[in-house]
Amino acid sequence: MRALTKLTAGPGLELVDRPEPQCGPADVKIRVLRAGLCGTDLHLQDWDDWAAATVQPPLIIGHEFYGEVVEIGEDVEHVSVGDRASGEGHIVCGVCRNCRAGRRHLCIGTQGIGVNRDGAFADYVVIPASNVWVQPRDLDADLGAVFDPLGNATHTALQWPMVGEDVVITGAGPIGVMAAAIARHAGARYVVVSDTSDYRLRLAEAAGADLTVNVTRESLADAQRHLGMREGFDIALEMSGAAPAVSDLITNMNHGGRIALLGLPHEAYDLDWGKVITHMLTLKGIYGREMFDTWYAMSQMIATSERFRTAVTQVITHRFRAEQWEEAFETARSGQCGKVVLDWS
């Protein structure tokens, strides 16, 4: 089969022929139709310090995908050949304290598809049946491929009730834009999104943001003045991993404000801990998706709201054939895009 593979411990990727993966008794084999590019994939191509410390080549990369089930293991009961499905990219151990308590997203032995084991930038991928999310047959294939990042956005955005709240989102990458759509759907009063890219801020506006802020020209304090806000933001979703964004957030939060942190920083940074304490702010780190509450929530939002479905779909701005993977990676790296999807059909 075709497979986009990290062959050696160094920069670069190659589209090569690899043997089809074997389906174990509790596994499901999926013919990949679409796969989404993620920042993780760019790190793996570059072979930065994180990639070098995490990945053991050779490895097929890719973890955002949608496809058709072509084989099931003998012990699999809830998935059938012919089903269309996405996949939860985190495979948990099942025996640690958190797994046994039903908190699988907190598993200390998590393995990532396309990071710790062969992934989905290939004609076929095999995952445990417990990680398969069967989709409606009429779901758009491109949309099915972005349930992983949509899940990140959903997990982050729905930490706290949003009805009537003033919400700020720092970072208008695909996940930040999806989070804007979720905040709008969930009943926020104002949704403000900040970034340095006008291209991506336009996507946030289309997703439902009331106001966007290019931080090279304005600040969140300016946004508050534009909207007539007097007390600061109630909820913040930090998607950028950028130290200035986090500092600006904390400065502009209401007392008792709640901050969900998804963006991974490139390096350590200082915080105004005095303000965190005296303003009684809540900071919560977010990683991945809750298994499987998040999947139910995003599936129902997609199924019941055409407006929400359209807002998420417009985040997918570029589509390439699998053989055009180099151009796809260049586009994703440019920042002049939303979500980039590879067509493996």
Q: What residues are labeled active site?
A: 40, 43
Given a contact cutoff of 8 angstroms between Cβ atoms, the answer to whether 91 and 127 are in contact is yes
- Torsion angle in degrees (nearest 10) through CA of 51, 54, 57, 63: -80
Instruction: Give CA separation, 61 vs 5, 76, 125, 270, 317, in Å.
Output: 6, 25, 11, 34, 22
| For residue 58, cis peptide bond before it (omega within 30 degrees of 0) | yes
Sequence-separated (6 or more) residues with CB below 8 Å from residue 115? 40, 44, 54, 55, 59, 61, 63
3-class DSSP state of 6: strand
DSSP per-residue string spanning 238-261: E-S--HHHHHHHHHTEEEEEEEEE
Given a contact cutoff of 8 angstroms between Cβ atoms, the answer to whether 150 and 216 are in contact is no
Task: Let me know if 42 is exposed, middle or buried by CB neighbors in 10 A (0-12, 13-18, 19+).
Answer: middle
β-partners of residue 106 are none
- Residue 73 CA to residue 192 CA, distance in Å, equals 47
Judging by DSSP bridges, how do beta strands 84-87 and 132-135 pair with one another? antiparallel
Instruction: Give CA separation, 203 vs 192, 263, 306, 311, 321, in Å.
Output: 13, 19, 17, 9, 23
Q: Where are the alpha helices (DSSP H) in 12-157?
A: 39-46, 49-54, 97-100, 141-145, 147-157
Single out the residue of 11, 96, 80 nearest to residue 52, CA to CA.
11
